[in-house]
Structure 1
Amino acid sequence: MTGQRFTIFETAIGPCGVLWGERGISGVQLTMGSEEKTRKRIQQRHADAREAEPTAEVGRAIEAMKELLSGKPNDLNDIELDLEGVPEFNRGVYAIARSIPPGQTTTYGEIAKKLGGVELSRDVGQALGHNPCPIVVPCHRVLAAGNKPGGFSANGGVATKLKMLAIEGAIVNHTPSLFD
């Protein structure tokens, strides 16, 4: 076992990072505004990971993520994820999120209904807030009731979510508030 590795790559939203191990991609770090800050965040969260050249498979995943973030409707479903250690409920949420096509959205409530009931909406939101692989698991495509953006735990918050959705051509009902 060679342990976790990572690399930083440039995208239309800024430098992002990807982590991988023997069984696939285990994490994606959305931009922190600069390559240095993105690298630092990865190192804070994954102290054992070392920076490395991507494997051919990881390289293909990076190119696919870059395409998606530049406006090409790539669904990224062929990217192999390693979600070992991720709770089963969260994996179910992520599987449903991965089925949302680029440029389309759904709501926390709709995912909750598929998992057993609308009362699970808050749990769906919490699972998406802990998503280890944003972009590949497109949590940005999941909205609050009324097609409002809801939350987004990545750097830049809702503004980053809206930027990613705009790149994909999704329509979101968003009236800025004091808290945006």
Structure 2
Amino acid sequence: MTDQHFALFDTPIGVCGVEWGSRGINGLQLPMGSDDKTRTRIRQRHGDISETAPTKEVQKAIDRIVKLLAGEPDDLRDIALDLDGVPDFNRGVYDIARSIPPGQTMTYGDIAKRLGGVELSRDVGQALGRNPCPIVVPCHRVLAAGRKPGGFSAKGGVSTKLKMLAIEGAAVNHTPGLFD
């Protein structure tokens, strides 16, 4: 994709990356521990993508993401995403996840039931693990049964998920030290 671009930006949880093309934002990278590691991860997914200043629309999205991660509630639902190439099932999962307000949570089973049955819970988890736009598609707001944290594929794993939920004021059943 020659019209693919990315930019890094500072947030209260670390340096994130945003990726976009001619049809909008199509990727968001959570912090990888350093700017270089974040750039490397973006390029692993997108190849020779150019780092450039964000467009006006992308900058507006970045500003809102930064404010959300600083504790200012914003559901980010109206940020346009380009999910071309994402399977329909995953899009359905992401649409439901985007309906979860900051500070609230759902379980994998809740989403699975909306999509046809609790037996789809594992598929929901796999779709969320492949979420190309975390934060905007708030996979961190989706918990395992019993309101336990469940998994999180970003660097830092469950502790990153718990940090993001704490910023938003969400209640989670968590035994300190178990996943940290």
What range describes the TM-score normalised by the shorter chain of this pair? over 0.9
- The unaligned stretches of length 5 or more in structure 2 are none
The SS at the match of 1:74 is coil
Q: 2 CA distance for matches of 1:77 and 1:178?
A: 32
Mapped partners of 1:166, 1:100: distance in 2: 15
Per-residue deviation, 1:179: 5.2
**Secondary structure in 2 aligned to 1:113?**
helix
Q: 1:4-49, CA deviations, whole angstroms, 9 ceiling, x for partnerless residues? A: 1000000000000000001110000000012121111111221131
Q: Which residue of 2 aligns with 1:45?
A: 45
Correspondence for 2:120: 120
Q: 2:133, 2:118 → 1: CA distance?
A: 24
Match of 1:33?
33
Q: Hey, what does 2:57 align to over in structure 1?
A: 57
Q: Name the SS of the counterpart of 2:175 in structure 1.
A: coil
More deviation, 56-65/28-37: 28-37
* Percent of residue pairs bearing the same amino acid type: 74
User: CA distance change for structure 1 residues 15 and 55 in 2, over 3 Å: closer, same or farther?
Assistant: same
User: Across the two proteins, how many residue pairs are aligned to each other?
Assistant: 180
Task: Find the aligned partners of 1:52 and 1:161 in 2 and give their Cα distance.
Answer: 28
For residues 123 and 52 of structure 2, the distance between their equivalents in structure 1, rounded to whole angstroms, comes to 35
- Aligned-partner Cα distance in 1 for 2:178–2:67: 33
Contact kept? 2:159, 2:179, Cα under 8 Å:
no
Matches within 5 A, 1:88-107: 88-107=88-107
Where structure 1 has 5 or more consecutive residues not aligned to the other structure, the ranges are none
CA displacement at 1:176 relative to structure 2: 3.9
Is the CA contact (8 Å cut-off) linking 2:147 and 2:172 kept in structure 1?
yes
Aligned to 2:160: 160
CA RMSD of aligned residues (A): 1.2
User: In 2, distance between residues paired with 1:164 and 1:10?
Assistant: 15
Look up the equivalent residue of 1:33 and give its one-letter code.
Answer: G
Q: Give the TM-score, by structure 1 length.
A: 0.97
What's the TM-score once normalised by structure 2's chain length? 0.97
Using the alignment, how far apart are the partners of 1:46 and 1:30 within structure 2?
Answer: 15
